[in-house]
Amino acid sequence: MLDLRMIRQNPDKVREALRKTGEDASLDVLLSLDEKRRSMLTEVEKLKAQRNEVSDQVADLRRNKQDAQPLIDEMKVVSQKIKDFDDELRDLDAEIMDILLRIPNMPHESVHEGTSEEDNKEIRRWGEQTEFSFQPLPHWELGTNLDILDFERASKVTGSRFNFLKGAGARLERALINFMLDLHSDEHGYTEVFPPFMVNKASATGTGQLPKFAEDMFKLEGLDYFLIPTAEVPVTNLYRDEILSMDDLPIYHVAYSACFRSEAGSHGRDTRGLVRTHQFNKVELVKFVAPENSYDELEKLTNDAEKVLQKLGLPYRVSQMCTADLGFTAAKKYDPEVWMPSYGRYVEISSCSNFEDFQARRANIRFRREKGSRPEFVHTLNGSGIAIGRCLAAILENYQQEDGSVIVPEVLRPYMGGLEKITSKK
């Protein structure tokens, strides 16, 4: 959420920033509602001041056993006026909030302008695109042949876009989760948290899923709970409505969670395999930092995510998102993308963003620089560190052998009971 006062003071700057994102949020309605609200507020507060003063007089008269009835009668009228004003103000506030909650974040000045994902820029590349001396298979065929992946039965048991992992596949999934949690907590200084997989409305609003993207989440019947689309939601909301102290910052958290996405609007896209599913696992990195450090922290966060791919020996590149592909909440975003042979291109496997104070303002997460100073909003960041399902797919595809077996990357072997290669049992 943007700061209403900032919008009021720099409407042209905000308009220009939003234009670059491709969203044409009209500020005119917002600004006129704001104007109206402030003038009403001034009036009603005058009335309240009067009421408070007269109430004191009434109290005095009563104590002195004098007649207060004329004053009371007079105040009845004033009170009714106040009530009318307050009702209207309540509606105004709700309208203003509804508009504010639907305005996207403004891109950081270092983000290049673009009109679609075509304009994203590759900023670095690591490793060589895997070459094969034979015809490589896509991971869904490899996994099915090895009997470690089962999509058919998953669609029987649940539906499309779900999967079963079996045997070494299930173990590999678990190995990846543990490897990443260990890496980030032991070597990168993140504190592990294990979050709830459902959140309430306030949390989903805090990180920006609501009100605009409700249809992307699974909602529980009869409850105001949502299945989380990412651990970002519960973990960022850990400190909602809190004032942290400067000594607490920066806070780094790493969290495993299952992620649930309705994938509304992506019918027909990536229908096979592990790339786009309704439920997948992910290890997520979340940071809470002082504003002046957030851009350095974004670089570090991205490096931490990349480290996972390097250790796994998976070729990747990092793209910087242009102004049109930042999504709703980010001010700046890097997407590490892994080389996926079956796609013949790099596929997003992480997404690292600085939200500045956009989420912090929604979720009311603040910090105090020193005792007695005014609270300020923290900056929040997060990034996948990394998506497990897509990572497992990338391993199967990049490490496949001519005989259909798959080499286990060395760093994962301790997590796999020493297994070096996944082979078919048949």
Task: Answer yes or no whether residue 402 interacts with RNA by CB under 7 A.
Answer: no
Question: Diameter of the chain by CA atoms?
Answer: 103
Tokens describing residue 413:
């072997």
Task: Answer yes or no whether residue 369 interacts with RNA by CB under 7 A.
Answer: no
The per-residue b/e assignment along 218-242, b for 16 or more CB within 10 angstroms, e otherwise, is bbeeeeebbbbbbbbbbbbbbbbee
Nearest to 377 by CA among 94, 5, 91: 5
**From candidates 16, 45, 122, 152, binder to RNA by CB under 7 A:** 45
CA distances from 150 to 105, 145, 171, 242, 387 (A): 40, 10, 14, 45, 19
Q: Residue 49 or 123: which CB sits closer to RNA? A: 49
**From candidates 12, 24, 28, 42, binder to RNA by CB under 7 A:** 42
Q: Residue 3 or 119: which CB sits closer to RNA? A: 3
CB-based contact 391:338 (threshold 8 Å) = yes
Binding mask 58-77 for RNA (x = CB under 7 A): xx--xx----x---x--xx-
Q: Residue 54 or 411: which CB sits closer to RNA? A: 54
Considering only the stretches 82-90, 120-128, 133-141, 416-424, report the one whose residues sit in contact with RNA under the rule CB under 7 A.
82-90
Q: Residue 327 or 375: which CB sits closer to RNA? A: 375
- Please tell me whether residue 393 adopts helix, strand or coil conformation: helix
Task: Answer yes or no whether residue 4 interacts with RNA by CB under 7 A.
Answer: yes
Minimum CB separation of residue 37 from RNA in Å reads 8
Which residues in 195-254 contact RNA (CB under 7 A)? 243
Task: Answer yes or no whether residue 38 interacts with RNA by CB under 7 A.
Answer: yes
Minimum CB separation of residue 49 from RNA in Å reads 3
Minimum CB separation of residue 30 from RNA in Å reads 13
Nearest to 212 by CA among 359, 100, 90, 106: 100
Provide the annotated active-site residues. 261, 276, 348, 351, 390
Contacts of 208 (CB under 8 A, 6+ apart): 328, 329, 358, 359, 362
Q: Residue 59 or 246: which CB sits closer to RNA? A: 59
CB-based contact 298:291 (threshold 8 Å) = no
Minimum CB separation of residue 78 from RNA in Å reads 7
Task: Answer yes or no whether residue 48 interacts with RNA by CB under 7 A.
Answer: yes
Task: Answer yes or no whether residue 89 interacts with RNA by CB under 7 A.
Answer: no
Q: Residue 24 or 221: which CB sits closer to RNA? A: 221
d(CA 294, CA 312): 28
**From candidates 15, 22, 36, 55, binder to RNA by CB under 7 A:** 55
Minimum CB separation of residue 51 from RNA in Å reads 5
Q: Residue 51 or 413: which CB sits closer to RNA? A: 51
Minimum CB separation of residue 13 from RNA in Å reads 18
Task: Answer yes or no whether residue 41 interacts with RNA by CB under 7 A.
Answer: yes
**For residue 39, how many other CB atoms are within 10 A of its CB?**
10
Q: Sign of dihedral through CA atoms 206, 212, 215, 216? A: negative
> Which of 221-228's residues contact partners 24+ apart within 8 Å by CB, and which partners?
224/200, 225/198, 225/199, 225/200, 226/198, 226/199, 226/200, 226/201, 227/197, 227/198, 227/260, 228/195, 228/196, 228/197, 228/198, 228/199, 228/257, 228/258, 228/259, 228/260
d(CA 176, CA 308): 10
Which residues in 280-339 contact RNA (CB under 7 A)? none
Q: How many residues interact with RNA (rule CB under 7 A)? A: 34
- Which residue ranges make up the site for RNA (CB under 7 A)? 4-5, 38, 41-42, 45-46, 48-49, 51-56, 58-59, 62-63, 68, 72, 75-76, 78-79, 83, 87, 90, 243, 366, 371-372, 374-375
